[in-house]
Amino acid sequence: MLVDFELIKRAQAGDGAAFNEIVLAYRKRILGTITRLIARTEDVEDVAQDVFLRMYFSLDQLRTAEVFETWLYRLTVNAAYDYLRKQRRRQEFRMSDLSEQQVLLADAVAGGKVERDQQYQKRIRESVDSLLGAVSEADRILLMLKEVEGLSLKELEKIYEVNENALKVRLFRARQRVLKASEEMKRGREPAKAG
């Protein structure tokens, strides 16, 4: 926990300063999670603010301060879902972004402005974003939370409110789809969207 229970209780009681402290403590983490969940850097801050907005208006629904982090993750996942739902043309956006990024990258390489590790990181981001484009938004978020954010199955159980076995099955299937997409990409084919 990045904050103590007392601070959460004060924020629940309507203390604006306590709420501010909580936001300041968690905003970097939430920004990082959202960056990986939505893969649209320009909208990350807007979605993060939406998470804290939801937190402000539903803090009184939090039964115990002990489950605060799990609850905040749930708000984050819900905000990311809502954002992705609004982006109906997400796939098209991503493809256009990719080509735009590639053009920028090529320009930068030609001009010698981008360092090698930045290019490497960009290549990884593009690879993972392309692979995760092969699975549904729900599976993408689940995989991100488990594999990238490093949440345990117990934590995911609380966030999704489903049992561990169901989560394992979903994760297994999502991984299989990603691996299949990876194979298809290696063969030079556009992976089919599934799940």
The binding site for other proteins (CB under 8 A) comprises 20, 23-24, 27-29, 31-33, 35-36, 41, 44-45, 48-49, 52-53, 56-57, 120-125, 127-128, 130-131, 143, 147-149, 175, 178-179, 182, 185-186
CA distance 23 to 152: 24
Supply the minimum distance, in Å, between the C-beta of residue 105 and other proteins. Answer: 14
**Closer by beta carbon to other proteins, 66 or else 106:** 106
Give the HSE-up count for residue 74: Cα atoms under 13 Å, Cβ half-sphere. 17
**Residue 8 or residue 132: which is nearer to other proteins going by CB?**
132
Residue 109 CA from chain centroid, whole number: 29
Rounded to whole angstroms, the Cα distance separating 94 from 101 reads 10
Least Å distance, CB 178 to other proteins, is: 6
Considering only CA atoms, which of 74, 68, 71, 50 is closest in space to residue 142?
Answer: 74
Q: Which long-range contacts (CB under 8 A, 24 or more apart) does 183-188 make?
A: 184/134, 185/130, 185/131
- DSSP H stretches of helix in the chain: 5-12, 16-38, 44-58, 68-86, 90-111, 116-132, 137-143, 153-160, 164-186
Which CB, 57 or 89, lies closer to other proteins?
Answer: 57
CA nearest to 119, candidates 135, 129, 131, 107: 107
- Cβ proximity to other proteins, 52 vs 83, nearer residue: 52
From the CB of 91, what's the least distance to other proteins, in Å? 18
Please report how close the Cβ of residue 147 comes to other proteins at its closest, in angstroms.
Answer: 4
CA–CA gap between residue 194 and residue 135 (Å, rounded):
5
Q: Which is nearer to other proteins, 64 or 179 (CB)?
A: 179
Q: How far is the CB of 129 from other proteins (least distance, A)?
A: 9
Q: Shortest gap between Cβ of 64 and other proteins (angstroms)?
A: 24
In the bound state with other proteins, the residue whose beta carbon lies nearer, of 153 and 163, is 153
